Structure 1
């Protein structure tokens, strides 16, 4: 079942062109020239219920604009977005009852209240009964230990504590869809671990559909089986992470340490680097397995040790960005 359907989605901004100086200011009072900037261009994709999607792209690619349209904050210039089969543009109040949003650079917590008071305020806004509210809070406490922070004023909380508070606030009304826009910005290792644990557990326990935008490639590797990549507002990739990796980098690197500096060669691999008695070979995954290559090399020279290196996820993502550029 598709939880989210995005059809022919576009967003344009009209920017006024203005010359510098007093002359430009006076001219702008009489005539104004504007140009159209297309932040998002004809996006089409679907997301099934319970999926964790990595929605990524370089800075200025249109990620946040798309997330804001999908969560009802911005209105599309063209196209439609269906959440649970309902058009969020036409029925915003109905749909937002079932979505949660966390922006890493903005907090929805009230700065002047205690954390627990912020949660209570949201309980009344979403009209959640006390039993369901307490159940949700207990579940979030199992993940974050959030109850020890309930009496702490939001203004006195650390960045990591505020992010935890924002995540719990986004889940207070048990949304079906959760948008996480750069939630790990500025977090330390411990806080990132807690965030990843949170994402995995709400997916398993509640079947929540999660759309994650991030520049932290560790998040992608640990959480996302599927990637949607956009660049310059266009869809660049949409597919299984492993399939994208195999297409962009269909090779592995074999590092071999020999007993002496006499290297072996093989027709199905390329010697790309050597240093003393250590050699690096690149081979295509579909041409030969690492085991067979090692066996073939060992018949020509004595091998002391071997290791295999996969293409780094950062290299894969950078290559995907540069493809469209």
Structure 2
């Protein structure tokens, strides 16, 4: 027997041969491209050259060009107290082209207040006379009631959508949503997903003369920290903010969540009246929207796209 054959037999007998490693069972998911903004259209506005009109047109082009996978509507779609006719006559002409990619949350009280204005859910489901088009989430799931939480996977990213209005209107419903969030994020984390949360009123924010921190939402923030949510999207303040990676105790930490507050959709902006240490970037002189590219490994890139004004923000967060 040849010497090489004898050596091979010896290696096999002693278990010293290299065993090929099984291939990775999961191929990397493709990048996910998102646009996001809240606080969109002033009362009775249909001007395409207004800040709202410019934003609506820019995001509509991204939808039509298939350049984004989702438009995250962060609440306060149509001011001031919107009903079906207001959405159809004012929001649709400027923003209706975004509905094929639209995933939305309802906000208090411009979008939804029980007994006062409850038509946003109907509008998004194509039930308002004059606009039968459904938002993306409604095409997928049918009618989504105002305030009902839901979640959606985009590539390897898992997004939970929450209505902060629950904390104003029904603490019992807010507690139920908290239980839902615990189970939803826990299951997604166990499945290996990177986590993100969308809600309207921000917890991590500078004060303005109108609003401060939405402190009632701390139970949600605690769960976001528990499961190491990677990023959050909110609105409401009529300006733009980005935090450091922050934990539930307002500390900048490597594994914290990057909180974007993007309420620059077209409403008049507000100046800041405080400066929390966790705020890394902010401005209140520009309208525009946020673009995100989410990568399979949990890293992401962001760019604020100005449409009225010149301030911007961009960067990359590395994989965990």
Q: Report the TM-score, using the length of structure 1 for normalisation.
A: 0.32
Judging by fraction of residues, say which structure has more strand.
1
Judging by fraction of residues, say which structure has more helix.
1
Q: Report the TM-score, using the length of structure 2 for normalisation.
A: 0.32
